[in-house]
Structure 1
Amino acid sequence: MTREAGVSTILLSGELDLASASTVQALLFEEVESPDVTAVRVDLAEVGFLDSSALGVLISGLNHAHKEGRGFTVVNPSPAAQRLLAVTGLDEVLAPR
Structure 2
Amino acid sequence: MQVQLQWSGRTLIARLAGDFDEHGAEVFRHAIERAVRRRAYDHLVVNLQQVGFIDSSGLGALLGRYRRAREDGARVSVVGAPPPVRAVLQMAGLPQRIPLYPDEPAALGAARGVGRE
TM over 0.5, yes or no?
A: yes
Aligned to 2:14: 10
Instruction: State the Cα deviation string for residues 17-39 of structure 1 (Å, max 9, x = none).
Output: 01222121112223344434221
Aligned to 1:52: 56
| 1:1-97 equivalence runs, <5 A | 1-95=5-99
* Contact kept? 1:82, 1:91, Cα under 8 Å: no
Larger relative contact order (Cα-Cα within 8 Å, sequence gap ≥ 6): 1
Q: Helix, strand or coil: the match of 1:37?
A: coil
- Give the CA RMSD over aligned residues: 1.6
Unaligned runs of 5+ in 1: none
Residues in 2 aligned to 1:46 and 1:12: alpha-carbon distance in whole angstroms: 6
Paired letter, 2:64: S
More displaced stretch, 66-75 vs 41-50: 66-75
Paired letter, 1:90: L
TM-score (normalised: structure 2): 0.74
Q: Helix, strand or coil: the match of 1:69?
A: coil
Instruction: State the Cα deviation string for residues 41-91 of structure 1 (Å, max 9, x = none).
Output: 000011000100000000000001111111111111111210101111112
Kindly tell me the number of residue pairs found equivalent between the two proteins.
97
Residues in 1 aligned to 2:50 and 2:7: alpha-carbon distance in whole angstroms: 19
